[in-house]
Amino acid sequence: MNTKPPVLKQLGTQVGIPASPHAAVLERVANPHVDTNYVARFTQPEFTSLCPVTGQPDFAHLVIDYVPDRWLVESKSLKLYFAAFRNHGAFHEDCTVAIGKRLATLLEPRYLRIGGYWFPRGGMPIDVFWQTGELPAGVWVPDQGVAPYRGRG
């Protein structure tokens, strides 16, 4: 087990948007409450990527909930990672699941879920959900708070 604190390379410095999600550097910091089960939530209401076929922009509202173990994601690196998708072509399912898997690999959380609520394309919204781990007993995870798309109905 590596107990040496990670060296943060982006926090407190001016950093450009990564060229791609693969080039983005996600950073982590030690969880100061490793003995406690709690939920951390990140909400990205203005996530954008590109359709891999047409090159047209796609928009989503992402909600990530996780119960950390030893690591927390450093939020500036997460914002830069999200921004790297702006010029990245991938389907909704790929973006959502890839983000969840990358965070799970980095953080090794006790539990992690991501909800990708994508705005309609071709008249049909696509919502994508991915989860890893079991929610620890007694931990409260609120509803993600994103209403299903109803259009004008």
Residues catalogued as catalytic: 51, 58
CA angle 46/86/59 to nearest 5° reads: 40
In angstroms, what CA-CA distances link 57 with 63, 96, 98? 19, 15, 18
Q: Are 30 and 72 in contact (CB under 8 A)?
A: yes
Q: Are 64 and 42 in contact (CB under 8 A)?
A: yes
Bridge partners, 112 (sequence order): 66, 132
Give CA–CA dist 70/68, Å, rounded.
Answer: 6
